[in-house]
Structure formats: C-alpha cells, structure tokens
Amino acid sequence: MDIQAMQKSALLTMLNLNAPPPSAATPRASSTSSATWKVLIYDEACRDIISPLLNVGELRALGVTLNLLITGDRERVPGVPAVYFVAPTRTNLDLIDRDTKRSLYDAFYLNFSYTLPRVLLEDLALRTIESASVSRISRVTDVNAAFITLEPSLFTMNMSRSYAKLSSRDDSEIMACVDAIVESLYSVCSTVGAVPIIHARPGEAAELVASKLDSRLREALRSRVFQESSSASFRRPVLILVDRNLDLGTPLQHQWAYQPMTHDLLGLASNRIRLPSGPAGKLTEYTLDGSDFFWAENKAETFPEVAQRVEALLKEHQATVQSLQSGTEDLSTLDDGDVTAGLKSIVNSMPELQRKKRLVDIHTNVATALMRHIQDRGLDTLFEMEDRMAASGLLPDVRTLKERIGPDGKGTADDKLRLLLQYYLAGDDKDKEVEGLARAMGDDVSTLAVDYVRKVRMMRRIAATGQHDDVKGAGAVLKDLVSQHTALSSGLGWLKGNVKSLLPLKHKTPLTRAVREIMLKPAAASVTASWRVMDPRAPQGKAIPQVASKARDAIVVVCGGGCYAELHNLVEWARDVSASTPSQPPVSIVYGSTEMAAPSDLLRQMEQLAQPDTPNLT
C-alpha cells in the first residue's frame, strides 16, 4: 500500500475540478480542467496536508495560479473558479459564505477534509439561497483526506500534545481527541478504499477509537457512501490500534539511524528541518523526502554509515567536476565541430551536477550538525547503553549509571532523564534504585517524568523492552571510526573523532511483536490474546473467525504519538518476512500516529501529566 500516492491521487482529482487527472504521478495541463486557471483556497490544516504531496510546479501544471489562506485578506479575482480545501468548521463556512456574497470568484468548488455535518451543510445552503449566491457553488465534496502522508508508508494526524490529551482528567478533552482520531482514520480507510478488520489493545483510548470507528464504518456501509476498491489485486487489510503506553521506551530511546536522529536532534517536522548557515547563522530550510535519493536510500542507515556515504558522494561529485574541467581544457585542441559537441555535453551535464552539489551541501550540513550533538553530548555512549538494555535486558551497574547521569556526566538534562527512564523501563523492581539515581541527577533536573512512569507501571505492567534476536553482522561490535574514515576534503574533519561505529542489536519492539502476532497468527499468541477484534462488515456482535484476521497488509496506528524508530523496526520486519515467504504476497505496513512526537516533546507531556492537578487516566 502506497498511502501517499493514494492521497495524492485524490487531491489531484480535487484540483482538477473533481475530474480524473491526466496522470496521478505526473500531472500535466492537458485536460480541459487542468488547463483551467484556478485559485486554491485552504486553511492551515489543509495546507499541511498538501505540502508534502504537491510542489509549486505541480500546482501550476494543474492551473493553480494562486494559493491563499482562507483567513487572509483576499481580493476579487474575476473570471476564474476557486477550489476550496478546508476543514468543515463553522468558522470556515462563515468565511465561505462571506466570499460567495462578495462574488470573489466565478465558481466555488468546496472540498472538505472530512465529512461535512448535515446541520452545517443545510445552514450553508440556506444562507447562500438567501443571498442569491447559491448558483456560484458548483460542487460540494467530502474529500476525506484528514491526515498527512509524509512517506509512502507513513502518515500523521498532526495532533499536538496528543499523549497528554488522551490521558487528561477532562473527559471532554479526551473525547474531542478520540473523535478527531476517528475522523482521520475514516479518511485513511476511504483513501485506501477498504474496510479493515480492526484490532485494538484493550483498556485505553485505542479501544474507544476502535469502537467508534467500527460504528462509523458500519453506518457508511449501510448508507452506501463508502466505496471499496474493485481492484483484482485488492487484499483486505487489518487496522491495528495501540496506545503509546504499550511501549514508552522506544520513543524515548536515543537512536543511531539517520532519520530518527534528525527528528530527535534537529527537529525534523513535515519532512523539513532548519539549520543555521553562513557567518550570520541565518536559518536555512531543507526538505528531506523521497525526491532526495540520498535521503531515501540512507534514512534508515546508522550515522557512521551515512557519514561514509556522504564522503563518497562528495568524492564522486569532485571527480565529476575535475573531469569536466579537464574536458574544457582539452577543447582547445579540437576542431570547431568537436568543440561545439563538447560544450553541448558539458552544458547538458550541468543541471545534474548542480543537483548533486546541492545534495552534497545538504547532507554535509545535516551530518555536521548531528555530529556536533553527538560529540557535545556523548550520544554514541548513550545509544550503546540504551540499545543493550532495550534489546537484551542487560542493565548497567548502578555506579556506572550514576556517573553518567550525575552533574559531571556528559549530556543535557533530557539526555540523562531519558537514560534513567530506559533503565527503569527495562528492569523490574527497580523503584529504590531509580529513586536514588533520580536524586543523583541534581536538584536542577526535573524528575516529574520518572514519577509519571512510576504511576503507569504501578497500574499496568507495560511491555517496554524488546526481545533479543540475532545481531546484525557479527554482533554488537564497537569499532572506532578513526581507522575507518578519512576526513572529507570539504573540511568535515569530525570523522577523525572518537565516535563509535555501533552495530545496533536486532530486536523487535513491543509494537512489532504485536503486529507479528496479529498478521502471522503463531500458535502461541501471548501479546494480543486479549485484544478486541472488530469487523465492520460482519453482523453486529458476531465472533470474527480467526482465519479472517490473517492478512499481508496492515495499517498500524499509535494513539498518543509515534516515532521513526518504530516505523523502521516494522518496515525491517515486513521486509524479512516477505523475503522468507517468497511464494506469498509481500507484507505491506503503513504506520500512522496522532503525531510524530520528538522525545523531548513526550517528556514535557509526561511532566504535565505528573503535576498534582493533572492526574493521568491510565
């Protein structure tokens, strides 16, 4: 399942005035609708949906000459239609009503990111009739695209502070968050064109989301507003819903792969980061997505491996430049015809050369920024300790840990707090040791997150560690990069530092183990034996046959915030299973979450929940 391509296709149809686009992959202004100049109006949420999918060139190819926020000041643009893509809120409908009365555009194509409530639809109809502007509304469509696809196998609902909201003492806040999750998941099902079999971890918000989504899908099937895929290759997926409390360790763990490190250390959000550049330190924005071949190929690789490949990319670029320079010098010995051909070849190679130069600059800057954090905070050692705890349950001795998290230890307060929490989550009956270690961190370090995890552990023995499998390569061997790398000629001498080349232990996260049980149905299913199973297509209350729950496609959703480490672990497992069962269809995983929460964000939410006036509901 490529959910990003599916959502993009739906948006291209919307922008083509609800007609199928000439090509979902490479839109061209070849159809009548595409050739029509139009204005795109969106709210902030829908702008975030469009941003990872369509660039300015693609919008222009579809005839979009202006793209504007619905809340901004807009002048009348006669002679063109307007495509609205907004959430169906009272505020947005008021603004649409105002625009129709002012006749800002010749025709209004209204597209809503999720289902427009009937009461608001009737109110809009009444108001446009009263103002004699109803004839300007050409179409009203529920696009059902209330989620953001960042990658072919990754989507987020962009709900900030979702972990704290789902654990709030305010029931109305919990229900508002649950309802928003249900709307997003209904949009996902609509986009995929499938009614999934739902599996939910019981006892927390995920079960409530599953129940409400089950009812929503049943109603849609009864009213026949839900269109399932008619493709011959269609396979019905499972939808696996879990709460963040299933595993608090993985999202807090220091990581060693390129994408998770960029998310944690450089604030990767919506496939973008901002880094200081130049003498003045002005922030420059970089986009890291599938259009960047180096990012696509290396985002799951360990940092030392990425550093080697950045160096190789730089050397390749320099060799190409030197070859071109030599070619220009040799032109003086050629006749006029050969000179012309040689110059043409050089000119034709320049765009690709400039593209690679830009990639070299981007990833050199990103790698350099990551390296500064690693060296200043000792992150290689932190990862080594935490990875061993998560994968094998081997805990460091208390003395070593106390030295590492004490006032003289390397790292920020959050780094030390995360290491302590990994120790707490990886072991049993460690309350007394953790209490002493928390005191050793010093009075200036908040330990509210430790208090919160203690409360969660008291109420639920959550599975927060992975299980030991095999190790990649020869094992968890530690090697110094000093002997393996040379300094980049661009000045990246940091590769001569004492950063360890760590080979992470291969293990399954608690989420991957749960997904494995649900999809493969092993004889002894211990993790998911008590989980709720719902089939919106089956009669209400009827038991779901075990065979019906087997699938090769899964949509896995974490309520309360996801992380790239979980995504990579699932993708790696799916790849291994597919390789081991070549006679069966490949296993396909789509990972979604209420938000992609950085470790520091999750810590702040835990601290909020630990406050006396904000008790959690776990």
Q: What is the 3-state secondary structure (H, E, C) of 232-293?
A: CCCCCCEEEEEEHHHCCHHHHCCCCEHHHHHHHHHCCECCEEEEEECCCCEEEEEECCCCCH
Question: Alpha-carbon distance 425 to 437, whole Å?
Answer: 14
Question: Alpha-carbon distance 224 to 213, whole Å?
Answer: 16
What is the per-residue pLDDT for 319?
Answer: 82
Q: CA 337, 341, 347, 352: dihedral to nearest 10 degrees?
A: -170
Of residues 128, 78, 68, 125, the one with CA closest to residue 103:
78
Q: Which region among 246-255, 281-290, 501-510, 598-607 has the lowest average model confidence (pLDDT)?
A: 501-510
Beta-carbon count within 10 A of 298 CB: 21
What letter would DSSP give residue 544?
P
| Residue 335 predicted with pLDDT over 70 | no
Question: Alpha-carbon distance 604 to 610, whole Å?
Answer: 10
User: What is the phi/psi pair of residue 522, to 5°?
Assistant: -65, 165
C-alpha distance from residue 38 to each of 10, 22, 81, 300, 536 (Å): 18, 17, 5, 40, 40
What is the per-residue pLDDT for 341?
Answer: 55
| Mean pLDDT along residues 566-580 | 95
The predicted-structure confidence for 175-202, as pLDDT tens digits, reads as follows 999 999 999 999 999 999 999 999 999 9
What is the per-residue pLDDT for 281?
Answer: 78
What is the per-residue pLDDT for 36?
Answer: 82
- Superfamily for the 150-224+231-247+509-610 domain: Sec1/Munc18 (SM) protein, domain 2 (3.40.50.1910)
For the chain, the straight-line distance linking the first and the last C-alpha, in angstroms and rounded, comes to: 34
| Mean pLDDT along residues 338-344 | 53
The pLDDT confidence band at residue 24, using thresholds 50, 70 and 90, is very low
- Where is mean pLDDT largest: 14-18, 32-36, 234-238, 311-315? 14-18
What letter would DSSP give residue 341?
H
What is the per-residue pLDDT for 231?
Answer: 57
| Residue 586 predicted with pLDDT over 50 | yes
Share of residues in the chain with pLDDT > 90 (%): 63
The pLDDT confidence band at residue 477, using thresholds 50, 70 and 90, is very low
| Residue 27 predicted with pLDDT over 90 | no
pLDDT averaged over the chain? Answer: 85
The pLDDT confidence band at residue 464, using thresholds 50, 70 and 90, is very low
Specify whether the backbone of 19 is left (phi greater than 0), alpha (psi in -120 to 50) or beta.
beta
| Mean pLDDT along residues 232-244 | 85
Looking up tokens 């002493």 gives: 436
Of residues 606, 542, 579, the one with CA closest to residue 249:
606
Question: Alpha-carbon distance 202 to 245, whole Å?
Answer: 12
Are 13 and 47 within 8 A, CB to CB?
Answer: no
| Residue 81 predicted with pLDDT over 70 | yes
What is the per-residue pLDDT for 43?
Answer: 97
Question: Alpha-carbon distance 551 to 598, whole Å?
Answer: 31
| Residue 519 predicted with pLDDT over 80 | yes
The predicted-structure confidence for 355-403, as pLDDT tens digits, reads as follows 888 888 999 999 999 999 999 999 999 999 999 999 888 888 899 999 9
| DSSP-based three-state secondary structure for 491 | coil
| Mean pLDDT along residues 204-221 | 95
Maximal CA-CA distance, the chain: 86
Question: Alpha-carbon distance 416 to 268, whole Å?
Answer: 22
Length of the chain: 618
Give the contacts of 468 (CB within 8 A, at least 6 positions apart). Answer: 391, 392, 393, 505, 507
The pLDDT confidence band at residue 213, using thresholds 50, 70 and 90, is very high
The predicted-structure confidence for 279-305, as pLDDT tens digits, reads as follows 777 899 999 999 999 999 999 999 999
DSSP per residue, 121-150: HHHHHHHHHHTT-GGGEEEEEE----SEEE
Two tokens at 364? 């050199």
The pLDDT confidence band at residue 325, using thresholds 50, 70 and 90, is low
| Mean pLDDT along residues 418-444 | 89
| DSSP-based three-state secondary structure for 69 | strand
What is the per-residue pLDDT for 176?
Answer: 96
| DSSP-based three-state secondary structure for 426 | helix
| Mean pLDDT along residues 570-583 | 93
Question: Alpha-carbon distance 535 to 224, whole Å?
Answer: 17
**Is the pTM higher than 0.85?**
yes
| Residue 480 predicted with pLDDT over 50 | no
Share of residues in the chain with pLDDT > 70 (%): 82
Give the contacts of 485 (CB within 8 A, at least 6 positions apart). Answer: 304, 307, 308, 311, 495, 496
What is the per-residue pLDDT for 31?
Answer: 53
What is the per-residue pLDDT for 285?
Answer: 94
The pLDDT confidence band at residue 551, using thresholds 50, 70 and 90, is confident
Looking up tokens 């990872």 gives: 52
Question: Alpha-carbon distance 589 to 596, whole Å?
Answer: 17
Looking up tokens 């795109």 gives: 40
Query: For residue 81, how far is the Cα from the chain centroid?
Result: 33
What is the per-residue pLDDT for 541?
Answer: 72
What is the per-residue pLDDT for 540?
Answer: 81
Looking only at the bridges linking them, the beta strands covering 467-471 and 505-508 are antiparallel
Give the contacts of 188 (CB within 8 A, at least 6 positions apart). Answer: 3, 147, 155, 555, 592
Q: Give domain 3-145's CATH number out of 3.20.20.140, 3.40.50.300, 3.40.50.720, 3.40.50.2060.
A: 3.40.50.2060
Are 509 and 465 within 8 A, CB to CB?
Answer: no
Question: Alpha-carbon distance 360 to 282, whole Å?
Answer: 19
| DSSP-based three-state secondary structure for 590 | strand
Are 527 and 562 within 8 A, CB to CB?
Answer: no
What is the per-residue pLDDT for 327?
Answer: 53
Two tokens at 3? 């959910």
| DSSP-based three-state secondary structure for 585 | coil
What is the per-residue pLDDT for 345?
Answer: 57
Question: Alpha-carbon distance 31 to 565, whole Å?
Answer: 43
Two tokens at 427? 């072991």
